[in-house]
Amino acid sequence: MQPAYDTRNIVANLHFPACPMSDASYRDAIFSTPLDRVARFSFDEQVVACFPDMIRRSVPGYGQILGMLGLIAQRHLRHGAHVYDLGCSLGAASLALAGQLPPDAFRLTAVDLSPAMVARARETLAAECPGHAIEVAEGDIRTLDYRPSGMIVLNFTLQFLPREDRDAVIARLHEALEPGGVLVLSEKVVDLDEQDNAWRVERYHDFKRANGYSDLEISQKRNALENVLVPDSLDAHHDRLARAGFSRSLTWFQYLNFASLIAFKEA
């Protein structure tokens, strides 16, 4: 029987073939037992193994943001242009674009610093999008030799760079974009109003609890991310984009303390 309400075209219902969500062995339980010393969060084998489940349960609006990438590309990407997916992890943004655009619409390079992520992204993208021109490269987005591109996606990646490196990266991305090109920048953000920020963070923790994380998991992950994921305010992001030369930027999505911006390079 046809489902009464089909959401397939509304959000990217990404499926990572190797990680069925119903299989408990792929569930994120990294911070579920008390740890004597909580190590700094890193994108290692342990995180790779449960990453689709972790990010889906930890980032409000993750599926909606991925689902919009193809629609943004349809409006802003020149046919056949090159696209970057920077800090690609397992390649979810690339997978979302390939699911929504035909193979001749774009060429794409997905880049990540974590060898474990790159290995799995390569396997997944080769298996899932055999007709698309997608390359996965291991590299640091601070030192990459960028090629001219029509669209660049930074989905929850800039927040992991030391703050002092962020201006230079955004300036290099502006330089790499072709006239009329777009940067999609998704980030965890801080609200500059202390009271509003506290409300967002408290409701974010409620969101995590509702998604099955315990108080222990929430607090241990928070410790692991301290000084590793350093969020900026939306104002700081827009100011940085303007300094880098983007003629216009706007926040097109926000859900609690997570947001996505789009920045336009003048045509």
Ligand X SMILES: C[S@@+](CC[C@H](N)C(=O)[O-])C[C@H]1O[C@@H](n2cnc3c(N)ncnc32)[C@H](O)[C@@H]1O
Ligand Y SMILES: O=C(O)C(=O)C[C@]1(C(=O)O)C=C[C@@H](O)C=C1
> Residues forming the annotated binding site for S-adenosyl-L-methionine?
62, 87-89, 140-141, 155, 222
Asked if 59 interacts with ligand Y (CB under 6 A), we say yes
At residue 173's C-alpha, the angle toward residues 169 and 177, to 5°, is 175
Residue placing its CB nearer to ligand X in the complex, 53 or 112: 112
- Tokens 């202390």 appear where? 194
Pick from ligand X, ligand Y, none: which does 54 bind, CB < 5 to 8 A by kind?
ligand Y
Looking at residue 207, what DSSP letter applies?
H
State phi, psi for 13 to the nearest 5 degrees. -85, 70
How near is the Cβ of 56 to ligand Y at its closest, in Å? 9
Q: Which does 229 bind (CB under 5 to 8 A by kind): ligand X, ligand Y, none?
A: ligand Y
Considering only the stretches 68-76, 109-117, 128-136, 172-180, report the one whose residues sit in contact with ligand X under the rule CB under 6 A. Answer: 109-117
- Angle, CA 83 vertex, CA 80 and CA 86 arms, to 5°: 170
For position 156 contacting ligand Y by CB under 6 A, the verdict is: yes
The CA distance from 170 to 175, in Å, is 9
If one counts every other C-beta atom within 10 angstroms of the C-beta of residue 21, the result is: 13
| 229 is a site residue for ligand Y (CB under 6 A) | yes
List 221, 238, 240, 265, residue binding ligand Y (CB under 6 A): 221
Q: Residue 116 half-sphere exposure, CB side, CA atoms within 13 Å?
A: 10
Which residue of 14, 19, 48, 54 would you call a contact of ligand Y, by CB under 6 A? 54
Range 175-178 contact pairs with CB under 8 angstroms and sequence separation of 24 or more: 175/146, 175/245, 176/84, 176/146, 176/147, 176/148, 176/149, 176/152, 177/148, 177/149, 177/150, 177/152, 177/265, 178/78, 178/81, 178/148, 178/149, 178/150, 178/265
Look at residue 201 and give the partner it binds from ligand X, ligand Y, none, a contact being a CB closer than 5 to 8 Å depending on partner kind: none
3-state secondary structure of 47: helix
Closest residue by beta carbon to ligand X? 87
Stretch that binds ligand Y, among 51-59, 116-124, 177-185, 194-202 (CB under 6 A): 51-59
Interface with ligand Y by CB under 6 A: which range of 12-20, 54-62, 102-110, 116-124? 54-62
Residue 6 one-letter amino acid: D
259 backbone dihedrals φ, ψ, rounded to 5°: -145, 160
Q: Say whether residue 55 binds ligand Y (CB under 6 A).
A: yes
Select from 29, 38, 144, 225 the one that contacts ligand Y (CB under 6 A). Answer: 225
Interface positions with ligand X (CB under 6 A): 43, 55, 87-89, 92-93, 111-114, 117, 140-142, 155-157, 160-161
Interface positions with ligand Y (CB under 6 A): 54-55, 58-59, 156, 188, 221, 225, 229
